[in-house]
Structure 1
Amino acid sequence: MSKALIIVESPAKAKTIQKYLGKDYEVLASKGHIRDLPKSGLQVDVEHGYAPHYEVLEDHKSVVTEMRRAAKEADVIFLAPDPDREGEAIAWHIAHELRSAKKPMHRVEFHEITKKGVQLGLSTPHEVNQNRFNAQQARRILDRLIGYELSPVLWKRLCRQVNGHYLSAGRVQSSALRLIVDREDEIIAFNPQEYWPVGVELLGKNRPSFRASLIESDGRKLVTPTRERVPKAGDYVLSNEADAAAVTADLKTARFKVATVERKERRRRAPPPYITSSLQRDASSRIGFSASRTMQVAQRLYEGIDVGAEGPVGLITYMRTDSTRMSAEAVDGARTYIEQRFGKEFVPEKPNFFKTRSNAQDAHEAIRPTSMELHPDAIKKFLKSDEFKVYRLIWERFVACQMSDALYDGTTVTIEAQGAKKHLLRASGQVLKFAGWLEAQGASERAEEVAGEESVRDGAAAPSEGGDEEKTLPMLAEGEGLSVIDPPGVLTEQKFTQPPARYNEGSLVKALEDLGIGRPSTYAEIVSKVLSRDYVQKQDKQLVPTKLGTTKTHGLQARFPTVVDYEFTAKIEKDLDAVESGEADWVKLVDAIYKPFKEIVVAEMSAKEPGEGWPRAEPSDRICDKCGSPMVKRWGPNSNFFACTAYPKCKNIVDENPAPPPEVYADRKCPKCSRDLLVKTRRGTDEKFLSCSGWRKKEPLCDYTAPMPIGIRCPKCHDGEVIKVGAAKGRRPFWGCSNYATDLKCDFRLFQPPVKEACPQCNAAFLVQAGGKTRPVLKCVTEGCGFERALSAADGADGDGDGEEAPAPKFRGGAKKASKKGASEASA
């Protein structure tokens, strides 16, 4: 019997597919790309049609050897990497490496890793799509050319390295960074407008009381300033306390009655199923996952998870997609499930279908579960925590997209107040009458718009429409008299318009998608690279540009405007789509972009003095204390500095704001050499650590460093101190014993931030911060205690910001959990 070789990307996918196909097939994994441009040098022949020089990656040579062995033994080869541009490139390179086997080779695509999906893919083989490969190759070559040519410009105009990283400028990453910098510039330039809203607490014949807001006074409509709406000359605005006080004084003695009552039903339409961007946005806002983490988890769900007796099963369809298209079979399965689970009233008369963006490639279905038989709760025990959370998101959204609209009863009441002047007030509210699709996503989603919902709103009700909370207004009739409830009575307060919010990972992905920058397969990579290059810092999940990121962006805007131009970057994406469809030649596309860019690079590198946009040396009145020459002020990535003008004869430099000398840590000496320990701050962060005073940049006398203790004794070994571990390396931090690397090898761990406060119930030496941002609490982790109290701002605990409940302390290696006695004895 003939034997077939199937080559996929990942071992997990290979294992799942092997289970479906049996012994007549051998399934191998390429483990990603097997060939690429070497890291050193340009590796692109610019003079001969931009011919690339590819090499097998050093860590994939054994993989290629194994594939060649299997290819010789097989009768036919199926190339089955992921069904996108990167997957097509992997298939092309595998075909190139296996061409010597002289066996029939076919490209197959698996849009879901189920038995049916694999059989369908194998039944429709085709050739490797040369146009799709050319589109990927053009992107790769453009990225190499622009990055390779632009990096030396940054080294010349800014600096070569920061925190051990060489400065670089990616093509798409530079536009993404500009978004973050532009938003920060907006925030800095924002001019807040003062205003004083006025409200009155009123009661009619029926309870409850309600609050109405002033909208008109003495025939003049009140304008409330917003970020987008700056009052014009002649607009009526209560912009100071005196004007507001005059109106409130009149309202306190006014007579109130209902002028009009308007009631209407509002619909909140079901959102579309997830595409890559909306999944990343919801995962960011709802479960606190980064774009890259979301895609890593989704990849595992797509490739296959072992769910017990069934073995590995692909739980979701392909996760890199920009299409909201769904198969008729999947839609029918969802509608059947909804009727059985929620009832007939939750199933719309006709299936819900959604428009796909005009610029979408529409190569794959939307992201959905592969089977309605695999409910998240039913397979939870087989899933890791992050897999369950992402799978539940996808499951709930797919079910919700095929459910009936949510219905609200909306009421708007206009109230007339007659005092010395006539005033109009308004009260609005909407109450959920029928949950519809909200039933599948839970009550927490009723207050906020979910990702993708904006595409179906089209005049329908938005959550909390008009800024009104979901509240019930009493039954009111036109002409009905109203009385003021005091307190609170007539209220006014000073407010200011707020600047635009900084981007988080989810909103940055949305901005990239709206501008047409990047594609579903690249969003996570774009965001990750922006964060990893010292150009952006995360502050409470917000993306804040560093001094380096801001300076780099302003320089590129002035000298290389096309590199950071949103429209130009989006046009390249469209041109790459044209290459993929066979409508454009990839060499001409690269040539049209590279040649004018290269001319600017040559001019910039030949100019001795930095042009507009780059930082320049500024004269100063400072004199070099080493040679007596004048010093100039120069830009630095972390802080500016003064440099001697006698360079290179004199290389003296002085920080503009020199850091104070580190404090001596008084509690202990260096365990290696007995010198003093110093408290230092890790560069680019607020993370403190201990360093031996014998450390030197060159030829250190002692290289000892240690995490900063937090003043809590380990409750397990009673010898070490609790320290924060992992945060400095970009990992999620945990708290462990300082003796974890000593002979004691203490394995005490906490996954929630400890707070140095004794438990009032069991006298344990510390509590931990839990509950995330929605319900922050301090709780005791001593077994059997159960103490918990709300967390106040005054507590000042060091949260990890992921909004998750983390497990109690873990003791590995068969050790017992912390006892009540042990935690109580731990000294603070």
Structure 2
Amino acid sequence: MSRRPHSGRHCHLPRRSLVAKSLVIVESPAKAKKIGKILGSDFVVDSSIGHIRDLPRNAAEIPAKYKGEKWARMGVNVENGFEPIYVVPKDKKAQVTKLKKLLKDSDQLYLATDKDREGEAIAWHLLEVLKPKVDVKRMVFNEITEDAILNALQNSGELDQNLVEAQETRRILDRLVGYEVSPVLWKMVRPRLSAGRVQSPAVRIVVQRERERIAFVSASYFSIDAVFETEEKEMFDAKLLTIEEKKIATGKDFDSTGELASKKVVLLDEDAARDLQQKLTGQAFSVTDVDRKPYTRKPKAPFRTSTLQQDALRSLRFSSSRTMSAAQRLYENGFITYMRTDSTTLSESALTAARNQVAGLYGKEYLPDAPRTYGTAKGAQEAHEAIRPAGDAFQMPTDVAKQVNSDEAKLYELIWKRTIASQMANARGERLAVRIAGESTDGRATVFGASGLTITFPGFMRAYVEGSDNPEADLDDKEKHLPAMAEEDDLTAVKIDAVGHDTKPPARYNEASLIERLEELGIGRPSTYASIISTIQDRGYVWKRGAALIPSFTAFATVGLLEEHFSDLVDYEFTARMEADLDDIAAGETESRPWLRKFYLGNGAPGLAQMVVERLGEIDARQVNSFPIGEDDNGQLVEARAGRYGP
């Protein structure tokens, strides 16, 4: 008779023989350990330790029968339907042998890899390599909890061949781009460089921002800042907005060349600002307008992969890879749902759990009338919920912290706060805008402005404010109180200052803003953001100064070469279309082989293979490796040149 898994609940698992057991295969040992505890002794749970097969990584891995073929170096038969050569790497052979042995003693095989393209592909490769003679089922789940695992077991199904096809197509595509274009970079820029379908556009984004910064011309301007005092001796800050009904220029009014974008504003240079400061000092001022407007702020949607990485950097100073490593461990140990997703959906049970926790912690007045739902971005293809605490009742961060390391505890708390806040009421308050008029000694009419915000009901901000790991402190920062004022109230200018400013170039990307930009452009997917960020740093294209991402000279040279000679490979729209096409293949709406054939061999226009042959002779290595970095004191263009061993 079968033993029931470790649970007090009643569940209906199939009866087993006294000897044979079911084999369940997952990706990681940690996941196997957790699921093994849930399923009990009638199941053997082991892991593939990631992918067990891949394209050959080097010449030594190419099977002997293919070594004479021209296409063998790529591991893809581009002459016969783009058939890939799959090999089991040396470091995976022992694990494959172990799994085969376990399968011999089993009467059922459950493939329980992740519920996405990579997971589906791992499951398919396991089928191909293990060649099971027993019944095979596909188990999918979004969290590693007892209920989720038992439900997945009882509702197991078949592999999704469309997902497998999409992953294989993506792998072949990346191999074709990398193996055809990277050698061009070796010859023209520097040895051991790599080009990538997603990697290269990501580098271009960083390079383009640096070009903007290099070309940027700073402009100087002054503002007039004042401290006013009411008749009740309460003080507040204000800024000069207009003079003679003309707006005072601020940094937003300048373009990247340092010129004013509009002639309708007044530019205060230092002399004009100092003169106006003197002529306003000691003058009479009064309130001319008090505008009160209701303030409402809605909570953000629960985390998806990209927003988790962005907020973990802002709030916790975690890199993308650090965030995903901690999230992986939290998922594998049953604390959060699957962490590679572009969905913001919460299940019915999760909505109930969140609302119950809100009511218990903050009171029913913090609950909206109905559960909140959030739209999922167009093209979302990961079949998961948002990232949230696992289970039908969310564990408190203080309880989880006792079971995990510091990074995991901090990340769980961030996920918990965001999930809870997503189901809380709006923050409410009042915005106040005040206008103050006065006249300079030479008769010029001036208007100062001050604004304030008062939060009357914090709502979701009690639990979470984006970009802060201390919501209560951030709530205080968000509020700016102004004294009670009414029209025609007299004010005293306690202090008037002329303050100098310089316009700033656009900020460099950090990991969070680069991921945000990639997502805006439709480049990459939840499973790839962290690896993109890591790869462009590991390959020497980008380095960090603090949190800022700075392109190397090699990045400038590489992007310049690709823009001129292989423009599609760094074109954002082209790359996004390829991502969308892969989504269509995953949905069964597009056939992969004709698509690969068109990309590589061409259809009317040259494909990648022909482009590489034709363009190689056109590339001027000296020109590619030279790029402008500014001008000298005489206005002459200054160029930097990237050599094989540096600039």
What does the per-residue CA deviation read over 1:242-264, in whole Å, with 9 as the maximum and x for residues that have no partner? 22123223322432000010112
| 1:616-695 correspondence to structure 2 within 5 Å | 635-640=642-647
Residue among 579, 584, 587 paired with 1:578: 584
| 1:416-815 correspondence to structure 2 within 5 Å | 416-419=437-440, 420-441=443-464, 445=468, 470-485=479-494, 489-595=495-601, 596-607=607-618, 609-610=620-621, 613-615=624-626, 635-640=642-647
Q: 2: CA distance between counterparts of 1:557 and 1:351?
A: 48
Residue among 342, 347, 353 paired with 1:333: 353
Alignment partner, residue 378 of structure 1: 399
Q: 2: CA distance between counterparts of 1:510 and 1:59?
A: 36
Is 1:278 matched up with 2:298?
no
- Answer yes or no: is the 8 Å Cα contact 1:227–1:498 preserved in 2: no
Alignment partner, residue 139 of structure 2: 108
Judged with a 3 Å threshold, the aligned counterparts in structure 2 of structure 1 residues 603 and 239 are, in CA distance, closer, same or farther, namely farther
Residue among 252, 257, 267 paired with 2:286: 257
Q: 1: CA distance between counterparts of 2:323 and 2:453?
A: 34
Whichever residue aligns with residue 104 of structure 2, its letter is: K
What does the per-residue CA deviation read over 1:445-467, in whole Å, with 9 as the maximum and x for residues that have no partner? 39999xxxxxxxxxxxx999xxx
Is 1:23 matched up with 2:35?
no
| 1:156-235 correspondence to structure 2 within 5 Å | 156-160=187-191, 166-226=192-252, 231-235=260-264
| 1:241-256 correspondence to structure 2 within 5 Å | 241-256=270-285
> C-alpha displacement at 1:228, in angstroms?
7.2
Whichever residue aligns with residue 191 of structure 1, its letter is: V
Is 1:86 matched up with 2:118?
yes
> C-alpha displacement at 1:373, in angstroms?
4.7
Alignment partner, residue 389 of structure 1: 410
Q: 1: CA distance between counterparts of 2:619 and 2:467?
A: 59
Q: 2: CA distance between counterparts of 1:284 and 1:88?
A: 30
Q: 1: CA distance between counterparts of 2:381 and 2:467?
A: 33
- With normalisation by structure 1, the TM-score equals 0.69
Return 366-375 or 288-297, whichever deviates more.
366-375
- Answer yes or no: is the 8 Å Cα contact 1:504–1:543 preserved in 2: yes
- Answer yes or no: is the 8 Å Cα contact 2:311–2:467 preserved in 1: no
Judged with a 3 Å threshold, the aligned counterparts in structure 2 of structure 1 residues 541 and 335 are, in CA distance, closer, same or farther, namely same
Identity of aligned residues (%): 41
What does the per-residue CA deviation read over 1:464-520, in whole Å, with 9 as the maximum and x for residues that have no partner? 9xxx963210000101111111xxx11111101111111111111111111110000
Q: Compare the two structures and name the one with the higher helix fraction.
A: 2
Q: 2: CA distance between counterparts of 1:62 and 1:523?
A: 31
What does the per-residue CA deviation read over 1:541-574, in whole Å, with 9 as the maximum and x for residues that have no partner? 1110111111111111111111111111111000
- Answer yes or no: is the 8 Å Cα contact 2:254–2:261 preserved in 1: no
Return 553-562 or 246-255, whichever deviates more.
246-255
What does the per-residue CA deviation read over 1:740-789, in whole Å, with 9 as the maximum and x for residues that have no partner? xxxxxxxxxxxxxxxxxxxxxxxxxxxxxxxxxxxxxxxxxxxxxxxxxx
> C-alpha displacement at 1:222, in angstroms?
2.2
Judged with a 3 Å threshold, the aligned counterparts in structure 2 of structure 1 residues 430 and 134 are, in CA distance, closer, same or farther, namely same
Whichever residue aligns with residue 335 of structure 1, its letter is: R
Q: 5+ unaligned residues in a row in structure 2: which ranges?
A: 1-15, 59-72, 602-606, 628-639
**Root mean square deviation, CA, Å:** 2.3
> C-alpha displacement at 1:443, in angstroms?
10
> C-alpha displacement at 1:234, in angstroms?
2.2
> C-alpha displacement at 1:606, in angstroms?
3.7
Q: 1: CA distance between counterparts of 2:514 and 2:120?
A: 27
Judged with a 3 Å threshold, the aligned counterparts in structure 2 of structure 1 residues 245 and 612 are, in CA distance, closer, same or farther, namely same
Q: 1: CA distance between counterparts of 2:518 and 2:98?
A: 40
- Answer yes or no: is the 8 Å Cα contact 2:82–2:593 preserved in 1: yes
Residue 56 of structure 1: SS of its match in structure 2? Answer: coil
Whichever residue aligns with residue 611 of structure 2, its letter is: I
- Answer yes or no: is the 8 Å Cα contact 1:238–1:244 preserved in 2: no
- Answer yes or no: is the 8 Å Cα contact 2:557–2:642 preserved in 1: no
Residue among 375, 380, 393 paired with 1:355: 375
Q: 1: CA distance between counterparts of 2:254 and 2:194?
A: 35
Return 122-131 or 55-64, whichever deviates more.
122-131
Q: 2: CA distance between counterparts of 1:365 and 1:198?
A: 51
Residue 75 of structure 1: SS of its match in structure 2? Answer: strand
Q: 1: CA distance between counterparts of 2:582 and 2:408?
A: 33
Whichever residue aligns with residue 318 of structure 1, its letter is: Y
Whichever residue aligns with residue 298 of structure 1, its letter is: A
Judged with a 3 Å threshold, the aligned counterparts in structure 2 of structure 1 residues 469 and 394 are, in CA distance, closer, same or farther, namely closer
> C-alpha displacement at 1:123, in angstroms?
2.1
Structure with the bigger RCO (C-alpha within 8 Å, sep 6+) is 2
Judged with a 3 Å threshold, the aligned counterparts in structure 2 of structure 1 residues 499 and 609 are, in CA distance, closer, same or farther, namely closer
Q: 2: CA distance between counterparts of 1:442 and 1:615?
A: 46
Q: 1: CA distance between counterparts of 2:504 and 2:486?
A: 37
Q: 1: CA distance between counterparts of 2:318 and 2:642?
A: 36
Residue among 32, 36, 41 paired with 2:54: 36
- With normalisation by structure 2, the TM-score equals 0.88
